[in-house]
Amino acid sequence: MAGKGGRPGPPSGATTLVILATLIAAFSLVPLGYVAFMTLTTGWDTVMELVFRPRVGELLLNTILLVVVTLPLCLVLGVGGAWLVERTDLRGHRWWALALAAPLAIPAFVNSYAWASTIPSLAGLGAGTLIATLSYFPLIYIPVAATLGRLDPAIEQSAASLGLGPWAVFFRVVLPQLRIAMAGGSLLVALHLLSEYGAFAMIRFDTFTTAIMIQFQSTFNGAAGNMLASVLVLLCLLLLVSEAKIRGNARYSRVGSGAQGLAIRMRLGRHEIGAQSLLVAVLVLSVCVPLYSVVRWLIAGGIAIWDPTEFFPALAQTMGYGLTGALVTCVVAFPMAFLAVRHANWFSKLLELSNYITSSMPGIVVGLAFVTVAIRLVPGIYQSAYVLLAAYVLLFLPRALVNLRAGLSQAPRELEEAARSLGRSPAVAFFRVTLRLCAPAAAGGAALVFLAIVNELTATLLLAPNGTRTLATAFWAKSSEIDYAGAAPYALLMILISIPMTYVLFQQSKKAAGQ
């Protein structure tokens, strides 16, 4: 149907999509509503007593120190590695480009298990910083490398022609253009630091997340744990606001694709050996040490640790939850992605923002929210697969949403209208044109959600039905009992499953940067 001026009006199903997207957004705010409700119903005097106490101050100090120390190290490794790969004549730079993303294939709690079983005395802030840095610096490296790869080198060449040296060009010209990528990557690292449980519990380093889990296990969702969750959510929201302030409204892009010249790679000369040595050290510490530890325990355990009665059910349940969760998340994300691309306005942006706020919360907070809501309102679904899948959807919805938005933006409405003008029904035109064009992006988003579900620990520990054993929870049960050999097969499988998904993430970042 045509609107004013002959312009096509919104499809008849737009209202249905708005209703669905609104319901999804409302549902995604359940964890935030839970935190607010528990804070209000606890009573002001009790809140003051539980929040303003020495233990909370200790946890706050540990968490802030962890972020303050780890984040600069991740920035140095991420930005420095990206610059070496994209802007110098580093030998083997194509191989290093992928190798520096490899640590993402090793879950942080597996990394911690490897280091703790190799050096049992490893503990505290120093250990937490080491493991977190080695696990999370690729979250900054990948977007920065992708951004460097698409920057027009003509700007750098112009600066050099005005007499600026290589370092002056980097700090005054290149680095400001990396601000958005650095801010986004830093936000991801900081949110991971706030939400990580297994990696820090294994090395006996107390953070808000580990303390909340201890409170939950001892008092089953008591007031003290809820108040800790409130403080943790406040920290997450402060991080979101800080990232938005740092990012600002700046946009570093060219008008039109144009013809981009080749970047002039800086000659390392005698610094080549030092650069290669540094990268080798990072790769050894972040990848080789965990792999060595896993293989060592596999050999020590022998054939006995490959018990099919434990191993295959954990693998089957992990694949089942991963595939089902990825499919459901993509289906749930589609209405919001469609509205964001085809009907962009303040309302669609508000709906989309609600999901990003929820996904920034740690898995333990989302898990506590679903435990409380299920027990109080619908006890029949408590500890069911439906509740666990719903938590997965809320935690990882943006991973599917971002990819679906990119896919739909490459399937303009005009193509669908052309198919309808040739006699196709709206439904047929949608499925054969729009859905077909965005299918690769949807598959990429599903792969990323699948990877996240495979490696998710805290929400799964809280919400999994009785008898459920995923690879992550089975690994955690074995490693918590200091059965490092028994945990090794589960660690190996998680790494093997994560490798292709990490490659997908790396390739997608390159494609997104080139758009």
At what angle are helices 346-359 and 385-409 packed, to 10 degrees? 130
Give the pLDDT score at 7.
43
Quick one: tokens of 77? 């490794």
Q: What are phi and psi of 384, to 5 degrees?
A: -115, 165
Write down the pTM of the prediction. Answer: 0.82
Which residues does 305 contact at the CB level (< 8 Å), separation at least 6? 298, 485, 486, 488, 489
Going along the chain from its start, the domains and CATH numbers come out as: 12-32+294-515 (1.10.3720.10), 53-248 (1.10.3720.10)
> Is 169:160 a contact under the CB 8 Å cutoff?
yes
Give the three-state DSSP class for 88.
Answer: strand
Instruction: Classify burial at 12, counting beta carbons within 10 Å of its beta carbon; exposed 0-12, middle 13-18, buried 19 or more.
Output: exposed
User: Helices marked H in 410-483 — which ranges?
Assistant: 413-421, 426-429, 435-454, 458-463, 471-480
Give the pLDDT score at 253.
47
How many whole angstroms separate alpha carbon 370 and alpha carbon 224? 18
pLDDT one digit per residue (tens) for the chain, 515 residues: 444 444 444 444 567 888 888 888 888 888 888 888 888 887 777 778 778 888 888 989 999 999 999 999 999 999 999 989 988 888 888 899 999 999 989 999 999 999 999 998 898 999 999 999 999 999 899 888 888 877 766 666 676 666 666 667 777 777 777 887 888 888 889 888 988 898 999 998 999 888 888 877 776 556 777 788 888 888 888 887 787 777 665 555 444 444 455 666 778 788 889 999 999 999 999 999 999 999 999 999 888 888 888 888 999 999 999 999 999 998 898 888 888 777 778 887 788 777 777 777 788 888 888 888 888 888 888 788 899 999 999 888 888 887 787 777 766 666 666 666 666 666 666 666 666 767 777 787 888 889 889 989 888 988 888 888 899 999 999 988 889 999 999 999 999 998 888 887 777 766 655 54
Give the pLDDT score at 11.
47
Give the pLDDT score at 510.
66
How many whole angstroms separate alpha carbon 412 and alpha carbon 430? 11
> Is 189:159 a contact under the CB 8 Å cutoff?
no
- DSSP tag of 487: H
How many whole angstroms separate alpha carbon 91 and alpha carbon 70? 29
Give the pLDDT score at 220.
55
- Residue 277's identity, in one-letter code, is S
Q: Provide the strand spans (E) within 269-336.
A: none
> Is 33:366 a contact under the CB 8 Å cutoff?
no
Give the pLDDT score at 3.
45
Longest Cα–Cα distance in the chain: 75
Give the pLDDT score at 100.
93
Dihedral (Cα; 395, 48, 204, 100), 10-degree rounding:
40
Quick one: tokens of 326? 């990825």
Give the pLDDT score at 471.
92
**193 membership: H or E segment, kind and range:** helix 179-195
At what angle are helices 14-28 and 346-359 packed, to 10 degrees? 30
